[in-house]
Structure 1
Amino acid sequence: MTDTISSGATGRLTFYVGILTTIAVVASLYLATSVFAPVAGALFIIALAWPIQDWLQQRMPRLLALAIVMCAVVVVFLGFAATVAWGFGRVVRALIAEAPRFQSLYDAATLWLEGRGIVVDGVWTEHFNLRWLIATLQSVTGRVNTTITFWLVVAVYVILGLLEVRTIETKIRALVSSDAARIAIEGTRATAERFRRYMMIRTWMSIATGVTVWALASLSGLALAPEWGVIAFALNYIPFIGPFIATVFPTFYALAQFESWQAALVVFACLNVIQFVIGSYIEPRVSGSALAVSPFIVLLSVFFWTWMWGFFGAFIGVPITIAILTFCAQHPSTQWIAELFGDPDAPPKSASTA
């Protein structure tokens, strides 16, 4: 009887300690974003680039291999950034050029709403004025500077991390117990493999989405078809939120170009069909159960990490969730977490092996 009470008290204590630890970790990640976010980005890039680094340094000096890998990473990053900047830049210039047409649509909508007792002009004047525009531009400029600093710090972490992968593995094997070392090393390897597969599948699906959106815009006569394809390609890397944004912008532009809400509605519906078919039908079948995560957890991850780390958090949220579930699957005491929040169609291992 005493043993039963003692074990129950120990279980409750462990539960409360776990909750307090989780709260402390989340608070630390939120308050020290400038420290932990670059580290997370660097670890993600190291996981993607390590196979190339490992293959090269077996055939040439390690520093030369590192220089080649870093040049490749910089080229890929700058190419992606330049392509996205081109697409968004042309769309912004087109929106500015179409400002009179948007103004006429706004005036017509305002009159329609005022006829039904809804006054919009007062709210618009109160919240959107020249001071608001200047503050927004200053905020955007500050974010650009912060982003540049962020990726410079990430680059430093990547360089140092790629140089120490083998050293860290050796130290883990020597300093901790065999079981803990197995969990750390096997979990890291499995996570890195899933990261690479995740990015490969996400890239191919983003390309398919961009090409399909470009084809739809071209066939429908919507202007800026290549630009809408590039924007759809870039935003598809952010689950749920990105594809939704990629459908809203072309819809508003179609409303201004065709001056018909029916045409804009058709464009919106077709774009959502594309996003649904690729994101909800093709991608899960391509990725299989290796990357399958509960859709609820995916959406929760995107919103949670966006709140924690902003735009970068929206991108890195799903990989972080994949890493957590992968490590949970390495130990029997936490394996239930991976089974509960992992592949929604996979039966628990205990049930499948019974």
Structure 2
Amino acid sequence: MAGQGWRWMLGLCTAILAAGALHWAEAILAPVAFALFAIALVWPLQRAAQARVPQTVALLATVLVALTVLVALTTASGWGFGRVARWVIAEAGQLQLLYARNLEWLETRGIDASGLAEQFDMRRLVRVAQAVILQLQGIVSFLALMLVFVILGLLEVEVARRQLARLGGERPALAGLLRALERTAAKLRAYMLVRTVMSLATGLAVWGFARLAGLDLAAEWGVIAFVLNYIPFIGSLLATLFPTLFAALQFGTWQAAVAVFLALQAIQFLSGSYLEPRLAGARLALSPFMVLLAVFLGALLWGIPGAFIGVPALIAVLTLCEEFPGSRWVAALLSGRAPGEG
């Protein structure tokens, strides 16, 4: 019994040290993780192109497609958030008056709001805008480093696959690893397809509602909802809170803010809790608790990039566990499927 306790303590210490190492090496490991994720997504395109054109041409075409998608998503995100930030800064004076009026409304009802009086001013808005610019600059350098790893990785995918297939004849564990990697890549492609379809549907729904409600910057809110919905839970929550706060500032009443919040929550619930599980099916079923844990743990280690990559990393880990008998129970426990499903 004592020996088992020591093993648990050793495992816990190892996990803490590994988490610290991941956080400390974020500048290198985060682009590598995203590069592996991107390679898993675009490799079928690379393989199909190589069957028709030379490898160099196929590689350039694949990288160009990946770069186009990344630039489009980054540009859309920057455009949406940038437009909202510029609107808030342009209307800062009016918003300051509205904020003061709301504080007075609270005071007349016996609610002490003195501690909030200095929480909203122009200097804070300027600092937020500067922080957004710095984040965008960081994203550009992050994408550049990631693309280097993608190019190098795509050149070696087929070589690594053949090596694992050859060595797998002598070492069954390597054959199992190859099967797990292939299944992981297929699952990640299915996950991103479902996530993209549902993010697009959610973005269109948010845009349509914002237009009907008369909320300014309707297109921007739709784009922001589309981008943020790639991050489970946290992204959906932020895609609801931002327009809600904006509605409170634009319309000047808490009733309008509550109405916007409830409507956006209904859209998010329909998308994330009803439609998406049916599109994903049992093959991609995950424990909601583990999904939330993966998102928050990823955010703790690597910020927003970590929140995004957390669920794909969870899918990869569980697929690896499914392949080997000794860890299969872990995948079954955390899959979110009832016994006999999938």
Structure-2-length-normalised TM-score: 0.91
Sort the Cα spacing of 1:336 and 1:234 in 2 relative to 1 into closer, same or farther, 3 A: same
Shift of 1:139: 4.3
Paired AA for residue 124 in structure 1: E
Q: Using the alignment, how far apart are the partners of 1:138 and 1:262 within structure 2?
A: 32
Paired AA for residue 182 in structure 1: A
Sort the Cα spacing of 1:256 and 1:17 in 2 relative to 1 into closer, same or farther, 3 A: closer
Structure 1 vs Structure 2: percent identity of aligned residues?
Answer: 43
Q: Match of 2:281, SS?
A: helix
Shift of 1:67: 0.4
Shift of 1:19: 3.2
Alignment of 1:140-155 (within 5 A): 140-155=132-147
**1:108 maps to what in 2?**
101
Paired AA for residue 107 in structure 1: A
Check whether the contact 2:240–2:264 (CA below 8 A) recurs between aligned residues.
yes
Residue segments in structure 2 that go unaligned for 5+ positions in a row: none
Check whether the contact 2:31–2:145 (CA below 8 A) recurs between aligned residues.
yes
Q: Match of 1:334, SS?
A: helix
**2:153 maps to what in 1?**
161
Mean Cα displacement is larger for which, 163-172 or 331-340?
Answer: 163-172
Paired AA for residue 259 in structure 1: G
Sort the Cα spacing of 1:259 and 1:114 in 2 relative to 1 into closer, same or farther, 3 A: closer
**2:275 maps to what in 1?**
282
Shift of 1:137: 5.4
**1:4 maps to what in 2?**
none
Check whether the contact 1:187–1:330 (CA below 8 A) recurs between aligned residues.
yes
2:92 is the alignment partner of 1:120 = no
Paired AA for residue 168 in structure 1: A
Q: Using the alignment, how far apart are the partners of 1:13 and 1:121 within structure 2?
A: 49
Deviations 1:252-280 (A, max 9, x none): 22223322221221111011000001100
**1:3 maps to what in 2?**
none
Deviations 1:2-30 (A, max 9, x none): xxxxxx67755654443343233222111
Sort the Cα spacing of 1:223 and 1:73 in 2 relative to 1 into closer, same or farther, 3 A: same
Structure-1-length-normalised TM-score: 0.88
**2:35 maps to what in 1?**
42
2:308 is the alignment partner of 1:315 = yes
Deviations 1:144-184 (A, max 9, x none): 33322221111010001000011112233445653211221
Alignment of 1:178-327 (within 5 A): 178-327=171-320
Check whether the contact 1:190–1:326 (CA below 8 A) recurs between aligned residues.
yes
Give the aligned length. 340
**1:55 maps to what in 2?**
48
Q: Using the alignment, how far apart are the partners of 1:30 and 1:72 within structure 2?
A: 30
**1:5 maps to what in 2?**
none
Larger CA Rg, structure 1 vs 2: 1
Q: Match of 1:333, SS?
A: helix
Shift of 1:113: 3.7
Q: Using the alignment, how far apart are the partners of 2:127 and 2:222 within structure 1?
A: 31
Sort the Cα spacing of 1:87 and 1:122 in 2 relative to 1 into closer, same or farther, 3 A: closer
Residue segments in structure 1 that go unaligned for 5+ positions in a row: 1-7
Q: Using the alignment, how far apart are the partners of 2:91 and 2:126 within structure 1?
A: 21
Deviations 1:78-122 (A, max 9, x none): 122222222222222222233233222211222234453624357
2:79 is the alignment partner of 1:79 = no
Q: Using the alignment, how far apart are the partners of 2:127 and 2:87 within structure 1?
A: 23
Deviations 1:172-198 (A, max 9, x none): 344565321122101111110011001
CA RMSD of aligned residues (A): 2.4
Q: Using the alignment, how far apart are the partners of 2:318 and 2:127 within structure 1?
A: 41
